[in-house]
A and B are shown apart, each in its own frame.
Chain A
Amino acid sequence: QVQLMQSGAEVKKPGASVKISCKASAFTFSTYYMHWVRQAPGQGLEWMGLINPRDASTDYAQTFRGRLSVTRDTSTSTVNMELSGLTSGDTAVYYCAREAGRLKDFDYWGQGTLVTVSS
């Protein structure tokens, strides 16, 4: 069955960067856009960015442009999300999600990765 397995929790200091991975299995990796969505504690969902694994093209939310980088490794069917310039406001659970092959919804989600930013 389709699975998105994310890397483990991270604790970072303000100003640092964090890199989270999302390994896909049981589907043709290059065929589906992959997205990143985050959720701060007690808050709602926030769309961050996407990548087309076929050609590595990306699109990012304006809020994150300049400090967000989404990449992919087709040899391991893995998508990576790197966020730099961390502040306490970046403390959140980060999810990867697959865009369904239909009409711009997200049909499979990773389990989430908690990133805590604290001095």
Chain B
Amino acid sequence: QSALTQPASVSGSPGQSITVSCTGTSSDVGGYNYVSWYQQHPGKAPKVMIYAVSNRPSGVSNRFSGSKSGNTASLTISGLQAEDEADYYCCSYTSNSTPYVFGTGTKVTVL
């Protein structure tokens, strides 16, 4: 089971919007609405930001949104803030022998 494909890095200026993509296959991202996104600051445990493609847990800023088209899911951060600088990982349920797969991770930099 290969990791889902994410861009290694994405950057933006404060106040801008950025989008992080997560590309899989019809066996994972494209086949289920079970894509979640995690934010991880250095030395910290991951934190869920989006679940089930586009749902935001209580307490997560509405500047974070998720979507999916075909085999690619996306995380959009609007009104970029310094505190958003972190690594972001997507995760999908899969029909393969390994039931969950993470993305390769994207480092978001606030310029």
List chain A positions with a Cβ less than 8 A from chain B.
35, 37, 44-47, 50, 59, 61-63, 95, 97, 100, 102-107, 109-112
24 cross-chain CB contacts under 8 A: A35-B100, A37-B102, A45-B105, A46-B102, A47-B98, A47-B101, A47-B102, A50-B100, A61-B1, A61-B98, A61-B100, A62-B97, A62-B98, A100-B48, A100-B51, A103-B34, A103-B51, A103-B52, A105-B34, A105-B52, A106-B36, A106-B91, A107-B57, A109-B47
Distance between A111 CB and nearest chain B CB, rounded to angstroms: 6
Contacts of B97 in A (CB 8 A): 62
| Contact A105:B91 (CB < 8 A) given known A44-B104, A45-B105 | yes
Contacting pair A45 B102 (CB below 8 A): yes
Count of B interface residues, CB-CB < 8 Å: 27
Distance between A81 CB and nearest chain B CB, rounded to angstroms: 15
Neighbour of A44 across the interface among B51, B98, B100, B105, CB < 8 A:
B105
Contacts of B103 in A (CB 8 A): 44
Once the chains are docked, how many angstroms separate the CA of A44 from the CA of B102? 8
Contacting pair B99 A45 (CB below 8 A): no
Once the chains are docked, how many angstroms separate the CA of A102 from the CA of B58? 13
| Contact A63:B98 (CB < 8 A) given known A102-B52, A109-B45 | yes
Contacts of A50 in B (CB 8 A): 99-100
Contacts of B104 in A (CB 8 A): 44
Contacting pair A104 B34 (CB below 8 A): yes
Cβ proximity bits B43-68 to A, threshold 8 Å, 1 near / 0 not: 00111100110010100000000000
